[in-house]
């Protein structure tokens, strides 16, 4: 399958800017890993940290704030002692992960193996 110029001619400037903004958010280091960890069942900060090797607490806190602000995650504060915070994908976040599936397939076919 090859991409023809006619396939992308219908994309106007506003759509292009939204696309670039989306790619930059998802392409930010650790963002996709955080989303995937939550999709796989990690809901608490410590669970997400354990699910994404190499991710520091500081960067996780930053990514969680960014992903929540983008409407991809929702944060639930549970009044208990100690207070618990849980994260979940929003419908938008789940839709984003589903749309990334073809990219995962591409990476499996053509990508280079991850370094340990």
Q: Can you give the pLDDT at residue 91? A: 97
In a domain, 7, yes or no: no
In a domain, 72, yes or no: yes
Model pLDDT for residues 72-106, shown as the tens digit of each residue = 999 999 999 999 999 999 999 999 999 988 988 88
In a domain, 42, yes or no: yes
The CATH number covering residue 55 comes to 1.10.10.10
CB–CB of 96/35 below 8 Å?
A: yes
In a domain, 66, yes or no: yes
- What pTM, to 2 d.p., does this model score? 0.80
In a domain, 104, yes or no: yes
Total of domains in the chain: 1
In a domain, 85, yes or no: yes
What is the helix (H) or strand (E) element at residue 97, kind and residue range? Answer: helix 91-110
In a domain, 11, yes or no: no
In a domain, 9, yes or no: no
Q: Which two three-digit tokens encode residue 100? A: 């990334």
Strands 84-89 and 73-78: antiparallel
State which residues form the domain around 35: 29-108
Q: Can you give the pLDDT at residue 114? A: 66
Distance CA 12, CA 1 (A): 23
CB–CB of 89/72 below 8 Å?
A: yes
Other Cβ atoms within 10 Å of 77 Cβ, number: 9
């Amino acid at each position: 399958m090859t991409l023809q110029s006619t396939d992308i001619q219908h994309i106007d400037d506003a759509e292009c800017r939204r696309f670039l903004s989306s790619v930059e958010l998802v392409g930010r280091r650790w963002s996709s890993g955080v989303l995937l960890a939550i999709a796989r069942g990690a809901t608490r900060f410590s669970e997400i940290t354990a699910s994404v090797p190499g991710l520091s607490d500081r960067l996780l806190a930053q990514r969680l704030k960014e992903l929540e602000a983008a409407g991809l995650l929702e944060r639930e504060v549970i009044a208990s002692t100690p207070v618990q915070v849980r994260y979940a994908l929003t419908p938008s976040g789940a839709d984003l992960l589903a749309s990334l599936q073809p990219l995962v397939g591409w990476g499996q076919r053509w990508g280079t193996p991850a370094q340990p």
